Amino acid sequence: MNRLDLEAVNSHSPYDVHSMGDQYVFVTDTGIEYHVGFELDSNPYYTAYWFNLANPEQQKSPGDKKIPQTVICIIEEFFRQTPDIML
């Protein structure tokens, strides 16, 4: 997988996104950390990725609308970088 252009992600994302290994991480206004990742599927017939969204500390979110907006910015950049895949 190509590395995502974080400048492009952060130009539209309400939360600042940074990379940590093969994960993309952001922290909400309430201090909740989210990790977003894309794992290559081992299917020999097509190229596909699994999408992973994790809240490692399993804290409850207070209905923060910036979270899905940030995740969508990451996914959009993923598809911009790798347009010929399945997710």
Q: Which amino acid is at 55?
A: N
Is residue 33 in a domain?
A: yes
Total domains in the chain come to 1
Dump pLDDT digits (tens) for 1-49. 679 999 999 999 999 999 999 999 999 999 999 999 999 888 788 888 8
Dump pLDDT digits (tens) for 37-87. 999 888 788 888 899 999 989 888 888 999 999 999 999 999 999 877 765
Q: What pLDDT does residue 86 have?
A: 63
Q: What pLDDT does residue 84 have?
A: 77
> What is the residue range of 50's domain?
6-81
Q: How far apart are CA 40 and CA 53, in angstroms?
A: 15
Q: What pLDDT does residue 87 have?
A: 54
Is residue 87 in a domain?
A: no
